[in-house]
Amino acid sequence: MHYTIRRIMPNNSLRIIADLNWFGHIPTYHRLYLRAFLDNGHRVVSLSPRPDLICADKNLSAALETGQLQVPAEGFGAATPPGHRLARWLDNLPGSSLCWNLLRNSTQIRQWRARKRWMTLMTAANKYAEAADPDTLLFIPYLDDLLHCPTSAKVSAPRWAGLYLDSSQLRRPIGAALRESLALFNDPKLQYLAVLDEGSIGPLRIHGQTIRIGAVPDITDERISLGLTELAHAVLNCAKGRPIISLIGHLTPRKGIRRLIKLAQNCDPQRFFFLFAGQIESLQVDSKTRTFLLAAEQKRHANVYAHLKRLPDETDFNALVKISNVIYLRYENFYGSSNLLTKAAVFRRPVIVTDEGCIAERVRLYRTGAVFSGGDEQTELNAIDHLAHRLPADWEHLCTRYHRLHNYESLVARLREIESPTKL
């Protein structure tokens, strides 16, 4: 379906967009949802850990000048999540990995943290909510951090809605444990859930309440710098014309790091060049994998480049996608959407994905890459070779077709639809 954007007359209702964290693609979703609500005629308040970055966004300058967008100067939440700070502190201690996993998976800690975050968010939102305006809505672009909160019923709050990123859980039968972790969605003031995975929008009932769920486009930041970034130039220089196979983003086992390392080790060094770029999660990555990547960062491997730091912003991320020949998305036990799938379509780059969930379904439907299952390394290398050498023009129509459904204009139209009480 193609969405047509119509000019919307301002309705002057208030939307409060709030994020407690600022990592990964959260800044992208926050900024683009601000724009989408503004373009749908709402007045908007932005609450985030980095108000300075919101104020510096040229796409939002006009709304700031007219007062349609308000950005309180005081920061809200944490630019570096407490979990990341804890991980850094634990990193060099004996038994740190075991300790980290125990803390991360503790139900009691999750509940305490979610309740604390929910109270913080509601308190801040109530400062700006207009009680006299029943159409005031709090929208949370990263709902996942608030799961496991036992209830929100005791908190006086405006109507609220949000983007639930890990909605792949909804693809499975809702058992007692999952129903309890999703208790937050039983709040009578919840208006709707927006999800990125169209395969997870079946009817959802929690404690007798039916939850309104609407699939929205997985939009991405499409900005690129005028020239290639310094990192992109360095990768191209090292690749020396070899096709670049890239794994970009937080480097965790779930991203398929070990599988791609094996391909790099067992491949003719002149055949492909492999890029690993992003912050390495030391407490989740085994010592053998870490040793390999650290050696690659020091240029000890002929066909591998590693940049083991968080990419500064989306333009740096996009530059690496642009110079790549194939984007490696063979995630493990990951059933939801991936923002990288949209980036790959924007820059007309094929992807190779695991035969699981939303990503595989989309790649099959739009034919923007290869869906791969099994562990035959040679077959996978041949599939990558086919993707890397296919003419860019072959991808133009397929990627355009995918991007048409996952771009900013389609988000504006879809938000307008799902905010209607009668449409999802």
pLDDT given for residue 5 in this prediction: 32
CATH 3.40.30.10 fits 230-405, yes or no: no
Return the CA Rg of the chain.
22
pLDDT given for residue 381 in this prediction: 93
Q: Is 332 exposed, middle or buried (0-12, 13-18, 19+ CB in 10 A)?
A: middle
Residue 212 DSSP label? P
| Cα–Cα separations (whole angstroms), residue 258 to 159, 252, 290, 309, 358 | 44, 9, 10, 18, 22
Q: Which amino acid is at 416?
A: R
| Cα–Cα separations (whole angstroms), residue 113 to 150, 162, 186 | 11, 19, 19
Contact in structure between 306 and 234 (CB atoms under 8 Å)? no
pLDDT given for residue 265 in this prediction: 94
Q: Residue 150, SS3? A: coil
pLDDT given for residue 37 in this prediction: 96
Residue 243 DSSP label? P
* Largest separation between any pair of C-alpha atoms in the chain: 68
Binning the chain into helix, strand and coil, the percentages to the nearest 5 are 45, 15, 40
Q: Which of 415, 383, 422, 423 is nearest to 161 (CA)?
A: 415
Ranges of each domain in the chain: 14-219+408-418, 230-405
Same fold, 14-219+408-418 and 230-405: yes
Which residue carries 């923007």 as its tokens? Answer: 368
| Cα–Cα separations (whole angstroms), residue 75 to 25, 45, 65, 115 | 19, 13, 20, 20
pLDDT given for residue 92 in this prediction: 58
CATH 3.10.450 fits 14-219+408-418, yes or no: no
Q: What is the pLDDT along the chain (424 residues), one digit of tens a residue?
A: 333 333 334 467 899 999 998 888 899 999 999 999 999 999 999 999 999 999 999 989 999 999 999 999 887 776 555 555 555 545 554 455 555 455 555 667 778 788 888 888 888 888 888 766 778 999 999 998 888 876 654 566 788 999 999 888 888 777 777 777 888 888 888 899 999 999 888 777 776 778 888 999 999 999 888 888 999 999 999 999 999 999 999 898 889 999 999 999 999 999 999 999 998 877 678 889 989 999 999 998 999 999 999 898 899 999 999 999 999 999 998 999 999 999 999 999 999 999 999 999 999 999 999 998 877 888 999 999 999 987 767 788 889 999 999 999 999 999 999 987 665 5
Q: Which of 52, 50, 57, 104 is nearest to 77 (CA)?
A: 50
pLDDT given for residue 344 in this prediction: 96
- 213 is written with which tokens? 């769920």
